Structure 1
Amino acid sequence: MSNQSGITADESLLGSFGSLANNESPSNVVVAEISSDNTTVKLCTTLSSVAELKRFAEREDRPLYLFIRDSGRIVFVSYVPERAPVRSKMLYASTKNTVLRQVGSNHISKQLLASLPEELSPEFWSSDASAGPAPLTEAEQVSARISSEQRIESARAGRQLVSQTGGTSHTLSFKIASGEPIPSLLEQHNFVSFKINLEKEQVEVLNTAELSEASKVPENLSQSHPTYSIYKNNGKLHFIYSCPSGSKVKERMLYASNKSGFVKHLREVDHLTMETVVEIGDADELETSQLEKSSPAALEHGNPVPGQLKFNRPKRPGRRT
């Protein structure tokens, strides 16, 4: 069963659909969209004919829900252009069943998935599916298309990083967008931090600096959002994943589950080997001795294995000073 987004249809859409289903509207097509704040499915527009719908779809690169009246029946089409962002595709896929329940799925004679304006024709929804192999379900079609897009994106722009769902159909695909190669950045600076930009679906450089000593690293870590950072000291690279206590739950899950994928990208694509991989909460939890080439801590615990997590000893409970 697919996950539900919690988004519901508003009154304007329900009213327009009711008029369409009861033959009380001169329009033959109702177009719906998810609101910009992702809280409701609202009426986008109504159109008089399928020909007008095709022209409308040719100008759109976002997913839409289409309710089409044809020969006295209502056809529902999830219109998902191939060039639409992956996040939008998954949002519309997870909201579809809720919308159909609200308008009354008993009014819908057929449900289809389309990705091209040319598919929006009576021939498309009147074809006899039994004449060929059993078609994929909509969820299978969406999953297949997203997987294909992710493979293409990965080949173009870097390694695919898995999301908090562990590689299911909800996987997010991130590009590594550093402007210039990360090894080049580390030749110019000894500290580089990164953030995940959900809107652009990519990992970006957040900050660069030239630090005089390891003790300066904590003050260069974000105090409000998770970050990935690389600190270079005496030719050794140290990866720091910091997740401040005020971070949102969604951010925590996203950064934690993509950390290994990013480290792997650095190792396999950028050929950067991390001396240590440190995971902390707030910046003041960082033991900067771990970032020194021959610190007492490193000597006591032995040479760290590249890519191995370093967990700090829990602090004593009580008020912070």
Structure 2
Amino acid sequence: MQSGISASQELHTAFQKLVSDESQRGLIITIEKEALVPSTTLPSNSSSFDGDLPLLTPHLQPKTALYIILRRYPSNTPAPFIAVTYVPDAAPVRQKMLFASTRLTLVRELGIERFRETIFATREDELSAEGFKKHDKHNELAAPLTEEEVSLGEVKRKEAEEGRGAGERKSHVSSGVSMPVTEEALGALKGLSSGEGDENNLVQLQINIATETMELASVTSTPISALPKTISNSAPRYSFYRFTHEHAGQTQSPILFIYTCPSGSKIKERMLYAASSRSAVQVAEAEAGIKVEKRVEAGSPEDVDEESILGDLHPKVEVKKAFERPRRPGRK
């Protein structure tokens, strides 16, 4: 998944200066206003790569993700630089997702041929001289991989590590994002599960981007024909809908999970909602007792209609006719 963020002209200029000026050891980069921008230039105070690594210490904060470009190899080699994505464990969820999904964009826009390798780090000691020795030793034992394979493996490793932690009232997601859920939202889901207040059959949840919390957006009584107008068409939503209908002479009331993400949604919204959709289902099932019969994903609420939902719930079974051997000529 790519974030849609691109390198600013300021970054291109700063990187070209780094390429041509050997007195610079590296460049620190961050994301501002949906663009990659240079933050700090690192001068070369030592004749060796290891000797300049202490320059990173003042910039490595426990809750702030950043990119670091370092000149590690001789300038006359084809790829003298390495690109480090530093995402500490305590960084905000949306920041982790944003930096992880933009790391390939960074090296591609600056020229992937200039980078010997990319590194994903979560701790300060990984960027020390000893940390790089361990990294090099590990690479010597590993089989050669493409740039995309290395990047994908590192992101998956980090996501798996984050998914192992558990906190009070937090749901787990295979993509690595844990999302706290408010009591109000949980109460609405429990009501939908138990059938209390049958008139309310649609619970919409939203993510508060600032607090990184899943909260209640609305609880309504909505016929299926009104879903496109009731579900927000301006922001992503997780909707849990009890669809009461007749099928094969019986009344059925399955609960559907409908994830919608309009095209006009902000980049950070799209990323966070996509990464946390499984979390919404898991918390509904584990903590509210909801059994989700069918998951529906759509770009716009207008794409959610009764015909398609019925088709998903009750797919038509094609009856194949038995093969009939053709009659021999002359026989009746």
Displacement over 4 Å in runs of 4+: 3-6, 70-73, 153-156, 187-190, 217-220, 229-233, 236-244, 249-265, 272-282, 308-311
The equivalent residue for 1:314 is none
| Aligned partner (choices 111, 125, 129) of residue 132 of structure 2 | 125
TM superposition shift of 1:118: 2.0
Equivalent residues in 2 for 1:119-158, closer than 5 Å: 119-126=126-133, 128-129=136-137, 133-134=141-142, 137-153=150-166, 157-158=170-171
TM superposition shift of 1:131: 8.4
The equivalent residue for 1:315 is none
RMSD between superposed Cα atoms in Å: 5.1
User: Structure 2: 5+ residue runs without aligned partners?
Assistant: 44-51, 75-79, 245-251, 307-311, 316-332
Contact 1:54 1:118 in 2 (8 A): no
Letter in 2 for 1:193: V
CA offsets per residue over residues 28-72 of structure 1, 9 Å max, x none?
3310122332xx321122234532321210x25233211123574
TM superposition shift of 1:107: 3.5
Letter in 2 for 1:119: E
How far apart, in 1, do the equivalents of 2:276 and 2:138 lie?
A: 43
Contact 1:10 1:41 in 2 (8 A): yes
Aligned length: 271
| Aligned partner (choices 28, 34, 38) of residue 31 of structure 1 | 28
CA offsets per residue over residues 257-283 of structure 1, 9 Å max, x none?
98887566434432346899999956x
CA offsets per residue over residues 158-204 of structure 1, 9 Å max, x none?
253xxxxxx6xxx4745361325427973996647222317355532
How far apart, in 2, do the equivalents of 1:16 and 1:275 lie?
A: 53
CA offsets per residue over residues 210-245 of structure 1, 9 Å max, x none?
x8xx88x96994453555256799xx987466789x
Equivalent residues in 2 for 1:45-60, closer than 5 Å: 45-48=40-43, 49-57=52-60, 59-60=61-62
The equivalent residue for 2:39 is 44
Letter in 2 for 1:96: R
Q: What TM-score does the superposition give when structure 1 sets the normalisation length?
A: 0.60
Contact 1:78 1:112 in 2 (8 A): yes
Percent of pairs with identical residues: 23
Contact 1:278 1:310 in 2 (8 A): no
Equivalent residues in 2 for 1:182-261, closer than 5 Å: 182=187, 186=191, 191=200, 193-197=203-207, 199=209, 202-208=213-219, 221-222=230-231, 224=233, 226=237, 228-229=239-240, 239=255, 247-248=262-263
User: Structure 1: 5+ residue runs without aligned partners?
Assistant: 161-166, 287-307, 312-321
TM superposition shift of 1:146: 0.5
1:106–1:154: structure 2 CA closer, same or farther, 3 Å change rule?
same
How far apart, in 2, do the equivalents of 1:155 and 1:238 lie?
A: 29
The equivalent residue for 1:179 is 183
Is 1:101 equivalent to 2:108 in the alignment? yes
Contact 1:80 1:114 in 2 (8 A): yes
